[in-house]
Amino acid sequence: MDKKRVLSGITATGKLTLANYIGAIKNMVKLQDEYDSYIFIADLHALTLPIEPKILEENRRNIFALYIACGIDPLKSTIFFQSDVMEHGLMNWLILTNTTIGELSRMTQFKDKSSKVKTANGMETIPTGLLIYPTLMVGDILLYNPDLVPVGIDQKQHVELTRNLAQRLNNKFKLDFKIPEPYIPKIGAKIMSLVEPTKKMSKSDTNEKASIYLLDDPEKAYKKIMKAVTDSEGKIYISDDKPGIKNLLSIYSSLKDISLEETEQIFKDKNYGELKHEVGITVKTFLEDVQTKYTQAIKTIDEHSKNGAKKASMIATKNLNKLMKGVGLKNESK
C-alpha cells in the first residue's frame, strides 16, 4: 500500500521563530518517517504584503537551510521552493474561480492583517493578495493531494477552507481530491509573544524582543526569555489566566518532549526566576545545535532545491491536470 502523504510550508515573510519550529516544523520532522513528505518554502505567499527583493531572497534560503538544520531530512522529505513549481500559479486561479469574496473576507487572518493596513481610504489600501492568500494556500495543498497538513492553530481555518474546497470540487467536477486533515501539535499549537503573552509569537512582529528567532545569538535568546513578561502571582501552574507562565511551560515541554503536566510538576515549587533560567538554557542549547547544523545545511540548498522541485512538479502536474480536465480545460487526447 502507498504511504500516506503529508504537506506543509512556511511563508518567507521573515526570520523563522521558535514558534514556527514548535508549531509546525517539529511535526514535519516527526511525520517524515511514516509519511511521503512534501515540505516547501512559501515564497509566492511572501509577496502578499510589500517585501524588499533582497530580504525575500535571504528569507527563502534561510528557511530552506533551517528546515534541514531542524531535522527535515532531504533524503526522506521533498523540500522545494513554491516558486520553482509553476503549477501553483495556475492552480490558484482554478481555486479562486470556485470561491466567493464572502468566504475569503470572512477569514480571520484576512480580517486581522487587513485591519492593520486599512487607513482612511479603507478598501483602497488593502493589497488584493491578502484576500486571495487562502486560495493560493488551498491550491498549494490540493496540488499534492495530502492526507495530513501539519500547522499551528492559527492556520487551522485555512485548512478548513481547503477541506470545503476539496469537497466542492469533487462534487462539482466529479473528482477525487482527498479531504486533508490539519495536524496540530498537542503542546505549543500557539506560542505567545514574550512581551505581550496574549498575542501570538509571529515572525513579522516588529518588536524583536517579542520573538525568539532560530538564528538569534543563543545568549541573546537566553536574555529574551529572562525578560519575558509573566504576572505578579509568583506561583507556577498551568492556567489560561497566566498566559506568560503557560507559554514558558509550553516552550520547555515541547523542546524537552515531555507533557505539560510533567513540566508543571518539575517547576511547581520553583520561582519565576528559576523557571526562566531553565527555559532560557533549554532554548539556548536548542539554538546552538540548530545553528551548528545550519552552517552546513546552507551549502547544500542549490542541490536539494533542484531535486525537490523536480519531484514536486511531477505530483503537482498530475493533480493540476486532473482539475483542468474536470473544469473543461483539457482535450481527451492531451
Alpha-carbon distances of 104 from 100, 193, 333, rounded to whole Å: 7, 27, 36
Which of 113, 224, 242, 246 is labelled catalytic? Answer: 113
318 is catalytic: no
| Tally of CA atoms within 13 A in the half-sphere of 183 that contains its CB | 21
* 307, amino acid identity: N
47-66: contacts with ligand AQP (CB under 6 A)? none
Does the annotation flag 201 for ligand binding? yes
Phi, psi (deg, nearest 5) at residue 123: -55, -30
Does the annotation flag 245 for ligand binding? no
CA distance 36 to 146: 9
113 is catalytic: yes
Write down the residue that cell numbers 538544520 correspond to.
69
How near is the Cβ of 142 to ligand AQP at its closest, in Å? 17
> Per CB under 6 A, which region of 28-36, 126-134, 149-157, 167-175 contacts ligand AQP?
149-157
Closest CA to 97 of 138, 61, 62, 57: 138
Which one of 47, 151, 309, 320 is in contact with ligand AQP (CB under 6 A)?
A: 151
268 is catalytic: no
57, three cell numbers:
531572497
191-210: contacts with ligand AQP (CB under 6 A)? 191, 200-204
Which of 15, 26, 190, 200 is labelled catalytic? Answer: 200
Does the annotation flag 125 for ligand binding? no
How near is the Cβ of 184 to ligand AQP at its closest, in Å? 8
**157 touches ligand AQP by CB under 6 A:** no
Strand partners, 39: 8, 79
* Burial readout 73-98 (b: 16 or more C-beta within 10 A, e: otherwise): ebebbbbbbbbbbebbebbbebbbeb
Q: What residues are designated binding site for ATP?
A: 11-13, 152-154, 191, 200-204
Q: What residues are designated binding site for L-tryptophan?
A: 140
**Footprint on this chain of ligand AQP (rule: CB under 6 A):** 10-11, 13-14, 17, 19-20, 22-24, 42, 151-152, 154-155, 188-191, 200-204
